[in-house]
Amino acid sequence: MNNLVDITIAFVKAQLANAEGGHDWFHIERVYNNSLLIAKGEDCDILTVQLGALLHDIADSKFHDGDETVGPTLAWRFLSAQGVAEDTIIHVVNIIENISFKGGNFEKKFDSIELSIVQDADRLDALGAIGIARAFNFGGFKNRALYDPAIEPNLHMDKEEYKSTTAPTINHFYEKLLLLKDRMNTATGKKIAEDRHQYMEGFLEQFYAEWKGER
């Protein structure tokens, strides 16, 4: 079974060879490690967690013209070729299809402790120092401004009218990152998310102070 995990790691590394910095192999490695940490506190099927974490981002729809079937199809083909049991394949594909944040209004069509674990691990990687780095990396990739003082950041920015494909990266904190701590599934996930949330609050405070030349 260890062998299957190793083969999966090699497959995912090859798939993500040209991925942008926020969605590269190291993102997967961090989510995998976070998943193992969270899984220690939960009664779960560890192989499903491992495969779900490793395969959850092999073809992000944002980079495939919005096509959300590419990743699950690839994962299905790969796991079948490895002779993985069909119920495990179905479970892993369900994790991949249901893990995404999607504005938080996305109704989960599937639920399991294994999905909860991998989802928490993926969300943790959007928080804290890494989360800040990934957000600005993504913003740079999309040629977004860092911040625009004319757009007053506030906690109602998760509403549809504030969402824009050209919004400065700071907006993303209000439309997603600061909302995540209240959406965690597991006890371990919640605890780590709280710490990372505090860190981001401190970052924003410092950011605005520096922007105004106060510090």
57 vs 175, which CB is nearer to Ni ion?
Answer: 57
Question: Footprint of ligand ADP on residues 163-192 (CB under 6 A)?
Answer: 169, 172, 176-177
Among 65-73, 104-112, 134-142, 154-162, the segment contacting ligand ADP (CB under 6 A): 134-142
Q: Which does 139 bind (CB under 5 to 8 A by kind): Ni ion, ligand ADP, none?
A: ligand ADP
Which residue from 85, 90, 53, 71 is spatially nearest to 15, judged by alpha carbons? Answer: 71
Query: Residue 68, class by beta-carbon neighbours within 10 Å (0-12 exposed, 13-18 middle, 19+ buried)?
Result: middle
Residue 128 near which of Ni ion, ligand ADP, none (CB within 5-8 Å, type-dependent): none
Q: Which DSSP string corresponds to 100-124? A: --GGGTPPPS---HHHHHHHHHHHH
Site for ligand ADP (CB under 6 A): which residue of 91, 134, 181, 196? 134
How many binding residues for ligand ADP (CB under 6 A)?
15
CB 197, CB 181: distance < 8 Å: yes
Does the protein bind Ni ion through residue 120 (CB under 5 A)?
Answer: no
Least Cα distance to 151 among 134, 169, 131 occurs for 169
Q: Does residue 139 touch ligand ADP according to CB under 6 A?
A: yes
Amino acid identity, position 47: L
- Interface residues for Ni ion in 42-71 (CB under 5 A)? 57
Quick one: which segment of 69-77, 102-110, 116-124, 184-192 binds Ni ion (CB under 5 A)?
116-124
Cβ at position 9, least distance to ligand ADP in Å? 19
- Name the packing angle between helices 25-39 and 187-211 (round to 10°): 130
CB of 177 vs ligand ADP, minimal distance in Å: 6
User: Do residues 179 and 123 make contact, with C-beta atoms less than 8 angstroms apart?
Assistant: no
CA gyration radius, the chain: 18
Of residues 85-124, which lie at the interface with ligand ADP (CB under 6 A)?
A: 100-101, 122
* Binding positions for Ni ion, rule: CB under 5 A: 57, 122
